[in-house]
Amino acid sequence: MKLTQKQSGFTLIEITVAITVFMIFTGIVLSSFIHLIGVQIEANRYRKVYSELNEILALISTDVKEYAIDYNCFKTAVCDPNIHNYQVQAFVSKDGLERHILSAKTKTVEELDFVDLEYAVQTRASRQNEWPAVIYRKLDTANTEFLQFDLTLRPTSNPYDVETRIDSKNLYQPSLTINALARAKAYPDRPGISMQTTVSSRFYNVRF
């Protein structure tokens, strides 16, 4: 009797099942990879938001530490809170020849409040001269938008006009508390980053 040799290989059903399993596995791996890339991109954006927020807080903190709070500015149209519906803080150099002004203006877009930060630098030749016109530049951030930016100054009255003893000068040390809430422009539906810091001035009994 002549025996026929049995053919080895995969049936069509086996190949179909194998391809289906492979495609499912590939889809799961690809989906996980895409999700991981998305999470990494979002994390990078938030790192940039945190970095930009830190840069702005560092700028203001440097002004508070190295300059004096210009309480006299509140008596002028530049900083008078009774004139403006936004927050303004001014910092003047110890020699009285340079002044930095920060404004935080709230605007409403589609029923949401946003804050625009603007910054100005003024210089004058002597203390007897008037300050030049204020020319603001926007503190623009590529990745960040501010939902809140509150500036709280203590004390609110001018402590530099008070004669104090050296052992009690800390009582009259001005400080500025900054409370900020920022979020990534690319992810408006994500939670924002909240940051608060209090910075004290290093100058005492300065007269301008």
Q: Bigger pLDDT: 147 or 168?
A: 147
Q: Bigger pLDDT: 129 or 5?
A: 129
**Domain around 170:** 37-200
**Which pTM was predicted?**
0.74
- Distance (Å, rounded) from C-alpha 62 to C-alpha 66? 6
User: What is the band of 206 on the pLDDT scale with cuts at 50, 70, 90?
Assistant: low
Asked if residue 6 belongs to a domain, the reply is no
**Tens digits of per-residue pLDDT, 111-143?**
778 999 999 999 999 989 999 999 999 987 888
Asked if residue 4 belongs to a domain, the reply is no
Angle at 78 between CA 73 and CA 81, to 5 degrees: 80
SS3 129: coil
pLDDT of residue 33: 81
Asked if residue 32 belongs to a domain, the reply is no
Strand ranges, E, within 2-130: 68-69, 87-92, 98-109, 112-123
Asked if residue 8 belongs to a domain, the reply is no
Of the candidates 204, 194, 199, 121, the one whose C-alpha atom is nearest the C-alpha of residue 153 is: 199
Per-residue pLDDT, averaged over 47-54, amounts to 87
Q: Bigger pLDDT: 90 or 32?
A: 90
Asked if residue 26 belongs to a domain, the reply is no
Domain count, the chain: 1
pLDDT of residue 174: 87
User: What is the band of 167 on the pLDDT scale with cuts at 50, 70, 90?
Assistant: very low
Which of 9-18, 106-115, 120-129: highest mean pLDDT?
Answer: 120-129
Asked if residue 3 belongs to a domain, the reply is no
Of the candidates 73, 60, 56, the one whose C-alpha atom is nearest the C-alpha of residue 198 is: 60
Asked if residue 98 belongs to a domain, the reply is yes
